């Protein structure tokens, strides 16, 4: 093999530049592949691991304790298919408990307290992050997300129920199943007027909603049909977490696939170029006695070496970038702390890419390498340099008769001389333009999405109300006074107020986040995907996440806990983002909010009003207000846009390198022709014109084909991304194109081509004629 | 090895010789053009044979038949006892690397290997270790008077030096047959003479030679046997006492 190795090393040396391109292309693709696969795996991998490690409940169920006894529930749970259970535990719901001490989380409006005698149960095992378990009356352990870090237990930490019962905080624990807000002893729970029993289940088959349903049916067989009042499935938690990575997965996949295709094209082109320009080389090898297999091996080794190096480097980069992306993907998502520590690019991804990429490269090199193998030795050795093909010459002749300037007509003939290479290059340009188009569309849609969510078209200033406990000073005015003051400031047209609250919904054991709004909400309402805005009492708008999670539709009625008891609420619309449920029922829901007053005001200003001036004016009316101009883009948008532009830049570089490579091959093959043309008086400028023309035509065609393809891809990806993140996106998000932009995009093909062509063109123009004509 | 009696040389004597090359009624068609049209020929060990003829007469094609670089359309080609028409591509490659040394008009060195490695590569191909191959390559370079050029790349060598490197490469595996297609064609007369002298010296040492050349002077000088080819046939073979030739198409080629 050493002769093969020696020869391929020499071949690599001769093609340092192509080898470099190949290495870079493979590096970029490998990095993208690692990051994409890492994110794909992160959608479920880390969650399942973390959840299983914490023995998380597959189903958290609530039973009406007046319909079924604990013993009945426990007996029924002894069913086939049930892997493990914990409970039943008495469960009480506290409406608007208050707290003392500086617990930084705040208690939810509807606060579930479960009576558990111990934390290390077979299902939903809790790990205490501070303090100890509640063992006596008047003690409580609070559910605290682990990312908060260790909270010191202080004597003044207390939870006070609306009835005035004081519960001393003795510990903090995190529940992966999010099964309760706090835990007390079973006796204490009963003392808090527990009316229901909580049961936690793990099933042998928990892969799908229907499996869980079947499992629950088996585990509740024989109980009165109305005993089960609510369930929540771990799949909802999982789906919620998957939203993070799902934001990135669709477009990363598309970029990844495009990257792979471009790599394959370029590798194929590099190797065919090597074979075509290496005819004589192949002939010499054969004359020396290299067997056909050895010749193939020389050409495969030529690309495999840079491919392996590129792949290793790319894997390192991809691993780093991927890890960061995966972390970023979970950041700020409810429950993200559960998987944050485990979220990384899984190990199996590396061997897949490290073996897969070089194999892919070798496969794309195989066709041209087979051609080298079959090339008759006698023909190869007698062929000097370039092999003009007949087709090229015929077209050249016809173009020569046209009225185009000679360098242009000569250049236009080049693509016809090597149709295979032309096709590969054209595809590279098409993919490049497609990427640019898609990336621009994605960015525009993301920006549009941000604008839509933040309603920057309607709301110019957001006024936050300080919470005196965490962010003193608090406001000195009441909500009504603030409304009046904000309206009275110059420029104000509409003002609305909002406060977040937490409640529960009948039939679900999880919590529901409510946005409570008042004021000019009709004018300042968000864009809806379907339905209409709230017009009467007991009407709500739900977010599309809620819509899909609970599988509701317009006109459905849900029952929400309010300070006034359960209330039926009719769903009249679906909004894109925001809280699970938006209500205008201020009086019934505001007691369930943390500070029980408005937390922020949204202000629409008259045209021409300076929002900054308005914000400054707001600061003067009450020291407890913090006004900001609405509009700065969100971090997630920035991340997406930066990821998209990084990927786009990489793909543009790679496509330009592909064109570059083609032009280098073309000019190298035509060195003698070029020398001859120069020797008969063609100026350097004419040479450049000729070479650039040879690919500009390709670029133009590539642009015209690539731009619509990119628009199509955009049209497909946006809804998929929306779906993956649990959002229904209004059509307006797809309407980001305008004609000048599309025209520019179509032209971008020529730009990519000209970028790739200029340097080699200049090189060809500068090459000294004598030397060119002497070599070979 | 096939041992046979062979009509030998201008001296007219008969000697017992190994037959290294035996072509029997070889045809080579390119499309409907016959580049070789029934060529039969035997070359014995230690002979030095010059092939002459006008351009396009089929000289290189003939050489390609002998080296196994190309296959005949008809007839048989036996070289060193091996019937080349029966070998597959791999077999031909193995045959070439052990039995044949080739020298070309335009050298055909690998541009990205220095002189020494260009020569050593052939040795590595037959399984020599890199160090052993280099050692032998260096010996050859010494014998050919180019040892001091060992690390120079082909592009920086003079034409004569390049051809000597090519010759050293051809000799690397002690071929039973050395083929040269216009080895002096790209050289000035002085370098050309040196290369020819080298080939004659090799022949003195027993190396069988088959040289294509345009130059009657060189042919007469170095080859004891001259074969003239015209229109794909052997027009004259000096080893055959009389000019026994097909269709009387004779000698004209030399004059052209
Ligand atoms: N691969 C090929 N395809 C078609 N025709 C060929 C091929 N190779 C050679 N020929 C033709 O066969 C004939 C003999 O060619 P060959 O190269 O053997 O001539 P030659 O005697 O070596 O000429 P020169 O002295 O110019 O090198 C020529 O007419 C040539 O055009
Ligand atoms: Mg010839």
Instruction: Give the model's pLDDT for residue B253.
Output: 32
8 Å CB contact of A287 and B60: no
Greater model confidence, B42 or B188: B42
Percentage of residues of chain A with pLDDT beyond 70: 83
Q: What is the per-residue pLDDT across A281-330, written as a single tens digit (0 to 9) for each?
A: 788 888 888 888 888 888 888 878 888 888 899 899 888 887 777 777 66
Identify all chain B residues contacting A294, using CB atoms and an 8 Å cutoff. Answer: 93
What residues of chain B lie within 8 A of the CB of A382, using their CB? Answer: 60
User: Using beta carbons and an 8 Å cutoff, which residues of A are at the interface with B?
Assistant: 2-3, 6-7, 10-11, 13-14, 280-281, 283-284, 286-294, 376-378, 381-382, 384, 775-776
Question: From the CB of B57, is ligand 1 less than 6 Å away?
Answer: yes
Cα A36 to chain centroid distance, Å, stands at 10
Q: Inform me whether the pLDDT recorded for A768 exceeds 70.
A: no
Q: Give the distance (Å) from ligand 1 centre to CA of residue A382.
A: 9
Closest Cα of chain B to A297: distance in Å? 13
**Closest residue to atom 1 of ligand 1, CA basis:** A379
Beta carbons of A273 and A661 less than 8 angstroms apart? yes
Task: Choose the most confident range, by mean pLDDT, from A346-350, A364-368, A479-483, A748-752.
Answer: A479-483
Whether residue B30 has its Cβ less than 6 Å from ligand 1: yes
Q: Which of A45-59, A140-154, B30-44 has the lowest mean pLDDT?
A: A140-154
Q: Which of A336-350, B27-41, B174-188 has the lowest mean pLDDT?
A: A336-350
Q: A288 and B122 in contact by Cβ < 8 A?
A: yes
DSSP bridge pairs for A206: none
Q: Report how far residue B171's alpha carbon sits from residue B189's, in angstroms, rounded to the nearest whole number.
A: 23
Is residue A377 within 8 Å of residue A57, measured between CB atoms?
A: no
Average pLDDT rounded to a whole number, residues A182-199: 83
Q: Please compute, for residue B251, the number of CA atoms within 13 A of its CA located in the half-sphere on the CB side.
A: 6
- Of B29, B59, B185, the residue with max ligand 1 atoms within 8 A of its CB, to mutate for a pocket test, comes to B59
The pLDDT assigned to B6 comes to 32
Q: How far is CA A201 from CA A70, A232, A257, A532, B243, in A?
A: 14, 11, 41, 39, 107
Q: For A284, which of B60, B93, B110 is closest by C-beta distance?
A: B110
Query: Closest Cα of chain A to B15: distance in Å?
Result: 32
Segment B55-70 mean pLDDT: 89
Q: Which of A57-61, A486-490, B29-33, B113-117 has the lowest mean pLDDT?
A: A57-61
**CB A376 less than 6 A from any atom of ligand 1:** no
Query: Is A292 close to B90, i.e. CB distance below 8 A?
Result: yes
Most A CBs within 10 A among B112, B122, B131, B185, hence the mutation to make, goes to B112
Q: Is the pLDDT of residue B76 over 90?
A: yes
Once rounded to an integer, what is the mean pLDDT over residues A62-91? 81
Question: Which of A374, A378, A379 to mutate: most B Cβ within 10 Å?
Answer: A378
Cβ neighbours of B122 in A, within 8 Å: 288-289
Cα–Cα distance measured from residue A112 to residue A95, given in angstroms and rounded to the nearest whole number: 9
Alpha carbon of B56 to ligand 2 centroid (Å)? 7
Please report the atom of ligand 1 found closest to the CA of residue B62: 18
CB contact under 8 A, A3 and B94: no
CB of B55 within 6 A of ligand 1: the answer is: yes
What is the reported pLDDT for B11? 37
Report how far residue A707's alpha carbon sits from residue A742's, in angstroms, rounded to the nearest whole number.
Answer: 7
Q: Which ligand is nearest to the CA of B33?
A: 1
pLDDT tens-digit profile of A585-615? 888 888 887 778 888 899 998 888 888 888 8
Confidence class for position A370, pLDDT limits 50, 70, 90: confident
**Which helix (DSSP H) or strand (DSSP E) does residue A367 occupy?**
helix A349-374
DSSP bridge partners of A139: A168
Which parts of A455-585 fold into alpha helices (H)? 479-488, 521-524, 544-549
Residues composing chain B: 256
Q: Which ligand is nearest to the CA of B37?
A: 1
Q: What is the CB-side half-sphere exposure of residue A735 using CA atoms within 13 A?
A: 3
Q: Is the Cβ pair B67, A287 closer than 8 Å?
A: yes
pLDDT of residue A544: 81
pLDDT digits (tens, 9 = 90+) for A667-679: 777 776 777 677 6
Q: Does the beta-carbon distance from B113 to A293 stay under 8 Å?
A: no
Preceding amide of B41 cis, omega within 30: no
How many Å separate Cα B213 from the centre of its chain?
10
User: How are the residues of chain A apportioned to helix, strand and coil, as percentages rounded to the nearest 5?
Assistant: 55, 20, 25
Q: pLDDT class for A384, splitting at 50, 70, 90? A: very low
- Cα–Cα distances (Å) from B240 to A569, B140, B215, B224, B245, in that order, read 116, 35, 21, 12, 10
Q: Rounded to a whole number, what is the distance in Å from the CA of B158 to chain A's nearest CA?
A: 12
CA-nearest of A469, A451, A542, A460 to A732 is A451
Best residue in B35, B55, B88, B93 to probe A by mutation, most A CBs within 10 Å? B93
Residues A368, A370, A374: CA angle, nearest 5 degrees = 115
All residues of chain B having their beta carbon less than 8 Å from the beta carbon of residue A16 are: none
Q: Judge whether B34 and B14 are in contact, CB under 8 Å.
A: no
Q: How far is the CA of A118 from the centre of ligand 2 (A)?
A: 96
Q: Which of B96, B109, B112 sits opposite A14 (nearest CB)?
A: B112
Q: Is the dihedral of CA B178, B180, B184, B187 positive or negative?
A: negative
B214 Cα: distance to centroid of ligand 1 (angstroms): 15
CA nearest B94 in A: which residue? Answer: A289
Burial tier of A164 (Cβ tally within 10 Å: 0-12, 13-18, 19+): exposed
Task: Give yes or no for residue B32 CB within 6 A of ligand 1.
Answer: no
DSSP assignments along B132-147, one per residue: HHHHHHHHHHHHTT-G
Q: How confident is the model at residue B139 (pLDDT cuts 50, 70, 90)?
A: very high
């Amino acid at each position: 093999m050493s002769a093969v190795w020696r020869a391929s090393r020499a071949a690599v040396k001769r093609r340092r530049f192509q080898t470099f391109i190949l290495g870079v292309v493979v590096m970029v693709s490998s990095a993208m592949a690692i990051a994409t696969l890492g994110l794909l795996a992160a959608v479920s991998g880390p969650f399942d691991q973390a959840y299983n490690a914490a023995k998380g409940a597959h189903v958290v169920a609530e039973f009406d304790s007046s319909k079924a006894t604990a013993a009945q529930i426990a007996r029924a749970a002894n069913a086939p298919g049930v892997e493990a259970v914990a409970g039943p535990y008495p469960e009480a719901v506290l409406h608007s408990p208050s707290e003392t001490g500086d617990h930084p989380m705040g208690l939810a409006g509807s606060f579930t307290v479960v009576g558990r005698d111990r934390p290390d149960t077979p299902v939903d095992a809790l790990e205490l992050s501070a303090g100890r378990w509640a063992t006596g009356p008047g003690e409580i352990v609070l559910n605290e997300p682990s990312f908060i870090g260790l909270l010191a237990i202080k004597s003044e930490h207390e939870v006070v129920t609306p009835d005035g019962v004081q519960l001393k905080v003795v510990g903090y624990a995190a529940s992966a199943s999010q099964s309760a807000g706090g835990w007390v002893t079973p006796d204490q729970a009963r003392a808090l007027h527990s009316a229901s029993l909580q049961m936690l289940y793990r099933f042998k088959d928990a892969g799908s909603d229907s499996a869980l349903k079947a499992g629950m049916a088996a585990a509740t067989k024989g109980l009165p049909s109305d005993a089960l009042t609510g369930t929540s499935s771990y799949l909802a938690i999982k789906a919620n977490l998957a939203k993070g990575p799902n934001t990135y997965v669709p477009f990363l996949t598309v970029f990844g696939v495009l990257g792979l295709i471009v790599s394959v094209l370029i590798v194929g082109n590099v190797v065919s170029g090597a074979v075509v320009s290496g005819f004589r080389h192949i002939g010499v090898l054969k004359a020396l006695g290299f067997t056909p297999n050895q010749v193939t091996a020389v050409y495969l080794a030529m690309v495999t070496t840079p491919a392996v190096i590129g792949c290793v480097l790319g894997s390192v980069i991809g691993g780093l970038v991927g890890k960061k992306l995966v972390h970023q993907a979970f950041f700020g998502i409810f429950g993200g702390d559960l998987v944050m520590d485990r979220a990384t690019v899984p190990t199996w991804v590396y061997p897949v890419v490290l073996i897969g990429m070089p194999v892919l490269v070798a496969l794309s090199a195989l066709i041209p390498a087979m051609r080298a193998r079959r090339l008759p030795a006698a023909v190869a050795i007698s062929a000097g340099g370039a092999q003009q093909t007949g087709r090229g010459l015929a077209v050249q002749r016809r173009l020569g008769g046209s009225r185009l300037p000679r360098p242009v007509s000569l250049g236009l003939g080049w693509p016809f001389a090597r149709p295979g290479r032309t096709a590969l290059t054209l595809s590279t340009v098409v993919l490049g333009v497609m990427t640019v188009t898609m990336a621009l569309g994605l960015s525009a849609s993301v920006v549009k999405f941000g604008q839509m969510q933040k309603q920057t078209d309607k709301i110019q200033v957001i006024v936050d109300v300080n919470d005196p406990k965490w962010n003193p000073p608090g406001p000195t005015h009441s909500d009504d006074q603030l409304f009046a003051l904000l309206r009275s400031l110059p420029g104000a047209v509409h003002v609305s107020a909002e406060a977040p609250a937490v409640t529960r919904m009948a039939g679900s054991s999880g919590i529901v986040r409510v946005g409570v709004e008042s004021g000019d909400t009709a004018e300042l309402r968000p864009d809806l995907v379907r339905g209409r805005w709230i017009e009467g009492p007991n009407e709500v708008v739900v977010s599309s996440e809620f819509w899909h999670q609970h599988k509701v539709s317009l006109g459905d009625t849900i029952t929400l806990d309010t300070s006034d008891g359960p209330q039926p609420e009719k769903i009249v619309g679906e909004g894109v983002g925001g809280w699970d449920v938006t209500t205008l029922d201020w009086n019934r829901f505001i007691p369930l909010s943390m500070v029980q007053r408005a937390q922020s005001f949204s202000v629409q200003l008259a045209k021409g009003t300076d929002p900054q001036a308005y914000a400054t004016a707001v600061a003067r009316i009450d020291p407890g207000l913090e006004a900001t101009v609405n509009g700065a883009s969100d971090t997630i948008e920035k991340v997406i846009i930066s990821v998209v532009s990084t990927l786009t830049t990489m793909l543009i570089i790679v496509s330009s390198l592909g064109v570059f490579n083609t032009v280098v091959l073309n000019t190298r093959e035509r060195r003698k022709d070029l020398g001859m043309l120069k020797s008969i008086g063609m100026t350097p400028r004419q040479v450049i014109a000729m070479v650039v023309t040879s690919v500009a035509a390709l670029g133009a065609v590539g642009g015209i084909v690539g731009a619509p393809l990119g628009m199509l891809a955009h049209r497909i990806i946006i809804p998929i991304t929306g779906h993956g993140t649990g959002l229904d996106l209004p059509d307006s998000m797809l309407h980001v194109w305008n004609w000048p932009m599309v025209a520019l995009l179509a032209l971008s093909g020529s730009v990519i081509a000209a970028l790739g062509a200029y340097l080699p063109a200049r090189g060809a123009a500068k090459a000294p004629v004598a030397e060119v004509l002497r070599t070979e | 090895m096939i041992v046979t009696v062979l009509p030998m040389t201008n001296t007219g004597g008969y000697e017992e010789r190994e037959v290294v090359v035996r072509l029997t009624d070889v045809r080579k068609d390119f499309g409907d053009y016959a580049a070789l049209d029934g060529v039969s020929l035997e070359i014995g060990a230690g002979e030095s044979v010059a092939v002459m003829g006008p351009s396009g007469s089929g000289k290189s094609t003939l050489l390609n038949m002998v080296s196994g670089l190309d296959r005949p359309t008809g007839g048989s080609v036996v070289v060193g006892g091996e019937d080349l028409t029966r070998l597959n591509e791999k077999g031909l490659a193995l045959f070439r690397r052990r039995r044949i040394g080739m020298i070309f008009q335009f050298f055909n060195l690998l541009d990205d290997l220095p002189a020494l490695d260009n020569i050593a590569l052939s040795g590595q191909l037959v399984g020599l270790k890199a160090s052993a191959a280099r050692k032998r390559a260096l010996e050859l370079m010494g014998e050919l008077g180019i040892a001091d050029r060992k690390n120079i790349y082909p592009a920086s060598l003079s034409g004569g030096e390049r051809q000597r490197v090519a010759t050293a490469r051809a000799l690397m595996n002690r071929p039973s047959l050395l083929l040269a297609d216009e080895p002096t064609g790209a050289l000035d007369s002085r370098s050309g003479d040196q290369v020819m002298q080298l080939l004659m010296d090799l022949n003195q040492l027993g190396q069988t030679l088959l040289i294509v050349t345009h130059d009657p002077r060189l042919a007469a000088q170095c080859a004891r046997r001259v074969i003239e080819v015209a229109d794909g046939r052997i027009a004259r073979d000096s080893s055959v006492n009389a000019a026994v030739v097909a269709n009387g198409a004779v000698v004209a080629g030399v004059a052209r």
